[in-house]
Amino acid sequence: MKYRDAILIAAAVLASFAVLGTSLVTFTHAMTKDRIAENERQALLRSLYALVPQESVDNDMVSDVIKINEEDHLGSNETTVYRGRKLGQPVATVLTTVVPNGYSGPIKLLVAVRYDGTLGGVRVISHKETPGLGDKVEESRSDWIYSFNDKSLNEPPLEQWGVKRDGGVFDQFTGATITPRAIVQAVKKTLLYVRDHKDALYDRSPTIENQG
Amino acid sequence: MADISYRELIVDGLWHNNQALVALLGLCPLLAVSNTAINGLGLGLATTAVLVASNTTVSLIRNYVRPEVRLPVFVLVIASFVTAIEMGMNAYFHELHKILGIFIPLIVTNCIIIGRAEAFASKNGLQRSLVDGVSVGVGFTLVLLTLGGMRELVGQGTLFDQAHLMFGDAARGLTLRIEDFPGMLIAILPPGAFIGLGLLIMVKNLIDRRLAARAIARVDYPQGAEGAANP
């Protein structure tokens, strides 16, 4: 009998701490969730506006979103497409392209394509490339990623969409060719995809997303 | 155990029993996040906050928790605090939270915290546990900050890069940059962490040895003749 009591007390103690711990987490979650959601929204908006200037659009790009599954073209089975419009006219789309063949794993990009087919810009969101070599694709490490600004499928011509070693116009880095080569190819494929599906991308009605 | 003075508690946490340099606990976050001073400082402060909270709580409940379930209860307490602090950082230091990423939730598995809960807080009163939590936490933070600063300086030629992530835009001026120094890559890569930690431990042991030699000299030559014994 005594033995059973000990077990019951132990269980009760553990259970009450589980309840207390969960309450603390629930309470903190309730206190911070709005601020966290707002932070994430602001961070996303900042990165979108860096590619599509805020004054060039008048819609809420974070909500005007569709999800597409084009793994062959855009590298992932769920690509998010943010759409920018002004007075109802299409301005630009921003796609979350994934580069499947980085030097050490996939590289996630934001690729902004204006309605006229030129690039608003490209940014690397996340990667696992070698520090000091492949990580020069990051905006904070070098200006390389800006070399995509205003490029299109005509400028440079399609066959020059590559790194210089492959006869293209984009720089590679000393000691790291694979990363820039993979990114240039992924951006080119994104441009081709957007060219072929331009109006469909703007016309589809936004995907309703659950908060969080 | 209850006889140690607060002063000794603090000196132990910061130096003699520094959990990172002496006990070599918490190495996973220590080595992974110490690539810049600010990252190190951020994770160190988060760890300190968890340590203080868990030490305090464990000390308060130490007489009510049955010994058979004490470890699960400690883990529960620690995990709850870590989750709460992670949410707080996400809300108030969003960018830093993004950089530290997985290492904030992983504070749960930092052996320093469960170690102090089990070895100290569960046997000592509230105030002592609080002091122990602060000094052990600050000791760990200082190692992270120093190692981060060393690796950042050697690896990319900066110090306190991205200070604004932690202290707001006003702190951008804190960043020091050595011009025309591209950095030695090895310091940023994982081997640099091991080498850096090794150097820190070496320096600590050298200082300890010198202090010990001086103490012996003082005993041998009470008339202040240290110089002779310790050239």
- The yes-or-no verdict on residue B203 having pLDDT over 60 is yes
Q: Are strands A65-68 and A79-86 parallel, antiparallel or unpaired?
A: antiparallel
Residue B17's pLDDT is 86
Residue B58's pLDDT is 92
% residues pLDDT > 90 (chain B): 39
Contact A25 B83 (CB under 8 A): yes
Contact B91 A9 (CB under 8 A): no
| Cα B44 to Cα B14: distance, rounded to the nearest angstrom | 13
Residue A211's pLDDT is 45
pLDDT tens, A164-176?
988 889 998 888 8
Query: How would DSSP label each residue in B133-186?
Result: HHHHHHHHHHHHHHHHHHHHHHHHSEESTTTHHHH-GGGGGG-EE-TT----HH
Q: What angle do CA B53, B58, B64 make, to 5 degrees?
A: 145
CA of A211 vs chain B CAs: smallest distance (Å): 16
pLDDT tens, A44-97?
899 899 999 988 998 888 888 899 898 888 988 889 999 999 988 899 999 999
Mean pLDDT of B102-118: 89
Contact A29 B87 (CB under 8 A): yes
* B79: nearest CB among A21, A28, A32: A21
Contact B92 A20 (CB under 8 A): no
| Cα B54 to Cα B198: distance, rounded to the nearest angstrom | 29
Q: Which residues of A touch B38 (CB under 8 A)?
A: none
Residue B44's pLDDT is 92
**Residue B117: closest CA among B51, B164, B69, B63:** B51
Residue B200's pLDDT is 94
Establish whether this prediction's ipTM goes over 0.95: no
- The yes-or-no verdict on residue A185 having pLDDT over 50 is yes
Contacts of B208 (CB under 8 A, 6+ apart): none
| Cα B187 to Cα B183: distance, rounded to the nearest angstrom | 8
Q: Which residues of B touch A13 (CB under 8 A)?
A: 64-66, 69, 73
- Indicate the pTM of the whole model: 0.78
* B88: nearest CB among A11, A14, A28: A28
Interface mutation target, options A2, A3, A13, chain B, most CBs of B under 10 Å: A13
CA of B65 vs chain A CAs: smallest distance (Å): 7
- The yes-or-no verdict on residue A32 having pLDDT over 80 is yes
Residue B35's pLDDT is 85
Give the three-state DSSP class for B70. helix
Interface mutation target, options A4, A7, A28, chain B, most CBs of B under 10 Å: A28
pLDDT tens, B18-75?
888 888 888 888 888 888 888 899 899 999 999 999 999 999 998 888 888 888 999 9
**Residue B150: closest CA among B198, B205, B98:** B198
Mean pLDDT of A89-109: 92
Query: How would DSSP label each residue in chain A?
Result: -HHHHHHHHHHHHHHHHHHHHHHHHHHHHHHHHHHHHHHHHHHHHHHHHHHS-GGG--S-TTTSEEEE--HHHHSSS-EEEEEEEETTEEEEEEE--EETT-TTS-EEEEEEEETTS-EEEEEEEE--PPTTTGGGGSTTT-SGGGGGTT--SSSS-GGG-SBGGGTSSB--BTTB-HHHHHHHHHHHHHHHHHHHTHHHHHHSPPPP----
Residue A3's pLDDT is 80
A22 close to B (CB below 8 A) = yes
Highest-pLDDT range among B98-102, B125-129, B172-176: B125-129
